[in-house]
Amino acid sequence: GQQVMQIPQYQHVQEGEDFTTYCNSSTTLSNIQWYKQRPGGHPVFLIQLVKSGEVKKQKRLTFQFGEAKKNSSLHITATQTTDVGTYFCAGYSSASKIIFGSGTRLSIRP
Amino acid sequence: AAGVIQSPRHLIKEKRETATLKCYPIPRHDTVYWYQQGPGQDPQFLISFYEKMQSDKGSIPDRFSAQQFSDYHSELNMSSLELGDSALYFCASSFDRYEQFFGPGTRLTVL
């Protein structure tokens, strides 16, 4: 069946360092979304990517969707303590069937 | 702004009992999703409804069923509960299948 793999599983960085998480699907995706989940909280939508090769930026966050629409990445520049949480990619294979990646848990040392 | 409402927030059941989780989506949202999230795991898609019709099924066990009612609220019914069903159950809603807004979740503990 379709799988969405996400690496790394954990990332511990010094505040101010950059952070990147990668998402790879076994099949072509119609679109991909990114969510952030703080400890004890629920996933919160960050962004959706639809087009092949699409790049979107939100302040210090840069999101990319691969040319083949099978992979995506989230890059955070100069991390801050507020960036702590688990980042999930979520790939849509059809209009409403979604598979979440395994998540990357980001922790930051001040 | 209104958010997704889930009830109850916490539920404790014993093995082989049944449980019903309720979800009230954001008004005018046309799609409802159910997820199961185990400790330290990613949300596992269970089932979704679009305009009150089931649209997709994920890894939902046969012991579980769900439906969406005329007022758009949805219920997840879980029977013959097992210890492994202990998890956080999220409901999410979206409009036009775009951004999903997640509810706070129902924490189910099966003893």
DSSP per position, B10-75: EEEE-TT--EEEEEEPPTT--EEEEEEE-TTSPPEEEEEEETTEEEEE-S--TTEEEEE-TTS-EE
A80 compared with B98, residue with greater pLDDT? A80
| Residue A94 contacts B where some CB pair is shorter than 8 Å | yes
- The pLDDT of residue B103 is above 60: yes
* Contact assignment for A42 to B105 by CB distance below 8 Å: yes
* Contact assignment for B99 to A43 by CB distance below 8 Å: no
Which residue type does B102 have?
F
SS3 A82: helix
Confidence class of residue A94 from pLDDT cuts 50, 70 and 90? low
Average of pLDDT values for A39-48?
93
Nearest to A94 by CA among A45, A3, A51, A31: A31
The 10 Å Cβ neighbour count of residue B1 is 5
End-to-end CA distance of chain B: 37
Tell me the average pLDDT of chain B: 93
By the 10 Å C-beta count (0-12 exposed, 13-18 middle, 19+ buried), B61 is classed as middle
The rounded distance, in Å, linking the Cα atoms of B68 and B80 is 21
- The pLDDT of residue B56 is above 90: no
Determine the residue of chain B that is closest to A50 in CA distance: B98
The confidence score (pLDDT) of residue A95 equals 57
- The pLDDT of residue A97 is above 80: no
- The pLDDT of residue B39 is above 90: no
Minimal Cα–Cα distance from B8 to chain A, Å?
A: 15
Are B48 and B55 a contacting pair, CB within 8 Å?
yes
Residues making up chain B, counted from first to last: 111
Q: Could you say which of B42, B58, B97 has the minimum Cβ distance to residue A103?
A: B42
Assigned token pair, A53:
């090769």
* Contact assignment for A88 to B44 by CB distance below 8 Å: no
* Contact assignment for B97 to A96 by CB distance below 8 Å: yes
Average of pLDDT values for B56-78?
94
Q: Which residue has the tokens 């409901």?
A: B91
Which residues in chain A (7-66) have CB-CB distances under 8 A to chain B?
33, 35, 42-45, 48
Minimal Cα–Cα distance from A17 to chain B, Å?
A: 25
Q: Could you say which of A6, A45, A94 has the minimum Cβ distance to residue B56?
A: A94
- The pLDDT of residue A33 is above 60: yes
- The pLDDT of residue B93 is above 60: yes
The confidence score (pLDDT) of residue A8 equals 96
Confidence class of residue A75 from pLDDT cuts 50, 70 and 90? very high
Minimal Cα–Cα distance from A87 to chain B, Å?
A: 10
The rounded distance, in Å, linking the Cα atoms of B7 and B21 is 6
The confidence score (pLDDT) of residue A96 equals 58
The rounded distance, in Å, linking the Cα atoms of B31 and B68 is 10
The confidence score (pLDDT) of residue A98 equals 82
For B10-37, what is each residue's pLDDT tens digit? 999 999 999 999 999 999 998 999 999 9
